Structure 1
Amino acid sequence: MTTTLDDVHALTHAGSLLSPGGEIVAPYDLEVAHADASGFSALPADILNAGRAPFDADYAQASRVHLVNAFGVTLGDSIIGLSALSAVKRLHPHLRFTIYRPARAPRHVQRLYALAAPRLADLIDLPVPLASLPADEPKIDIGNQLFWPRFASMPMIDFFLWAMGIAPDSIAAGDKRNRWLADVPLAAIERAPYALFCPDASTPVRSIPASMRARIVARLADETGMPVLGFGAVDHPRYRDIAPLCIDTDDFLAWIGHARYLVTADTAALHIAAGFDVPTTAFFTTIPAFMRARDYTNCVAVEFALPHLQGIHASARPADLDAIERAYRDYDWRAMPFAREASLSPASR
């Protein structure tokens, strides 16, 4: 017997949903549409869900695999999910994937999937009738991963591999570095060498405080000897705001991919830089660096010791932002690390 979920539990369900009419639905689409989610239920057991019951996928015997509601609705999560998919395809080049995506996901995220699709997967928008998925092909649900307990306790690339039924340790570290991005053609942009500054993350609590940005730009310009380009206004003579020139995902990829060095608090920018082997200094406030940058050999991390903020996905609360401001203000900027060797060595706090 199928148990229906109430409105709250449906939106926070660790997986995708089945509508009363028999359609597979993304909880995100219901939330964005402010739709009533009561009466929905979990997907049936023949759609594998590692959070419900871990499994080992037999990809060698499959020709097509259906990934339901993969891999989230943010740019960073999607880059990592597609890296997991790319790693599986390297092991099993005969495989073809179909990804069923939330139709209301942000356009800049959907564009990433469109760029990846020719090589990695076919794309279909949710909702779709449950009956439209072939009964004799593997079907895996990775929906609403933010609410899976392991999403907060595993490096993200390992989480997505595990959710796809692959032992993370079976994948070489080199295959976890988003190298599939190097196959995406980059637009021609600035010809002169430049360093890049990406201070804004998806939430204020993970962003670099505005009061500290000029100091970081100065340190970056002094260290690299290059002009610094970046996203957003910074009052410094060696800095240029290129935000007006970055209007879509293609532009964002190009500006990062062509950079000689990157300083960022945005993990999406970090993941892109790793794909193009751009040396990077990354700042972490609410999540340990190893959870996002463990496999990036050309990245160094600055981690701020803020235990009361660990694990927070988003916040703009004044008390939280004050704590971030103090951490950045008290940091010894003369010790800000730069990627010199192939190692990730977070700065101690």
Structure 2
Amino acid sequence: MFTLPKKICWVNPLSEVSALTHAGSLLSPNDEIVAPYDLEMDDALTSGFRPLSMVQGILNAATAALASDYALHCNLHVINGMGVTLGDSIIGLTALFAIKKRHPSLGITLYRPARAPRYVQRLYELAAPPLGKVIELPVALDSLPPGDLKIDIGNHLFWPAFASLPMVDFFLWALGVPPSDVPSADKRNRWLQALPLVAHEREPYVLFCPNATTPVRSIPPSMHAELIERLWREFGLPVAGFGAVDHPHYTDVTPLAPDTADFVAWIRHARYLVTSDTAALHIAAGFDVPTTAFFTTIPPSMRARDYTNCRAVSVPLPGLDGIQASSRATDLAALERAYAMLLAGEFSLTP
């Protein structure tokens, strides 16, 4: 009589579309754990893949309530965390370091999408020594030791809770930790201070980071020179930044930041930061760098709630609330009008 493996409860494979948007990681026909993002980047066929959450012992907060008593475990395996953007990764790692602080002997292994951008992967290389091991997907299901705690956070962008919780609270919840159990001070990315950063001996400067991962959350290029002029007038310091802008007191330092560690160091040593890039904001918070951060399609509380040195400025875009990305001409025209209206008023970059 034929019986299925005890670890796996049979379910029909996901459709090719739902496999890429599934709230969790995937199990291949060969019983390998796969990141949907890697399949998408490889333009690979997605037929025959099943939800990893169907495997007994793989926990996924998107499918079942999760409460993890880490005191009872020696090892934690985080599957497909913490996303493929720099900002999400910083916050996801903050949640893991908060757990590590409370359970120093806990061994952590983090399984990552292999096709994530190189500058994002570099962050995990920098964080790995104090955190634990980082392994690229895919891996064989049987390679995960039985008895260890295994939590899947794959494809978190498609989890409903990701759009409704402050990001750090989302990752803590997804790891089975009540967000209220972690004090605000432990949600400020201070683990970044332990990174092995490059030497950075320069004259004082303020920093301008106008580009987010999507145009609708970026500062419009037509506003860059105006904001740099305001930075120069308010601080009287040279303005460094990322991107070409024609201004006599501005220097594009993009060529001087070829590595993620360099990018972090430029933020670390700035006297002040103006940005719409949440990755830059999260880094600044980790080093207590005073910041003005602009938010468009997402409420500031979702990203900056715990940052005491941040002035969060909302730039309303009616009708676009909550969208993750857009480069549509109509949306960018609305974005430009919103910034123009903001800057036309009595607006100061500092509180």
User: TM-score, normalization: structure 2?
Assistant: 0.95
> Contact (CA 8 Å) 1:298, 1:339: kept in 2 or not?
no
Runs of 4+ in 1 over 4 A off after TM superposition: 337-340
**2:95 corresponds to which residue?**
84
Separation in 1 of the partners of 2:71 and 2:175? 14
- 5, 24, 39: which one aligns with 2:48: 39
Separation in 2 of the partners of 1:121 and 1:144? 22
> Contact (CA 8 Å) 1:301, 1:337: kept in 2 or not?
no
Distance 1:116 1:197, change over 3 A: same
RMSD over aligned Cα atoms: 1.1
| Cα shift at 1:185 | 2.4
**1:265 corresponds to which residue?**
276
| Cα shift at 1:311 | 1.2
Aligned to 1:4, the other structure's residue is in SS state: coil
- For residues 258-297 of structure 1, what are the structure 2 equivalents within 5 Å? 258-297=269-308
Deviations 1:104-146 (A, max 9, x none): 1111000000000000120111101101111110000000000
Choose 317-326 or 328-337, whichever is displaced more: 328-337
Matched length: 340
**2:4 corresponds to which residue?**
none
| Cα shift at 1:270 | 0.4
Question: Which amino acid in the other structure matches residue 40 of structure 2?
Answer: E
| Cα shift at 1:186 | 2.0
Choose 150-159 or 239-248, whichever is displaced more: 239-248
Are 1:19 and 2:65 an aligned pair?
Answer: no
Unmatched runs of 5 consecutive residues or more in structure 1: 341-349
Distance 1:259 1:17, change over 3 A: same
- 92, 106, 121: which one aligns with 2:117: 106
- For residues 1-349 of structure 1, what are the structure 2 equivalents within 5 Å? 1-43=10-52, 44-332=55-343, 335-338=346-349
Separation in 2 of the partners of 1:142 and 1:262? 31
Deviations 1:12-51 (A, max 9, x none): 0000000011000000000000001111001114200001
> Contact (CA 8 Å) 1:18, 1:42: kept in 2 or not?
yes
| Cα shift at 1:190 | 4.4
Instruction: Provide the identity percentage.
Output: 63
**1:346 corresponds to which residue?**
none
Unmatched runs of 5 consecutive residues or more in structure 2: 1-9
User: TM-score, normalization: structure 1?
Assistant: 0.95
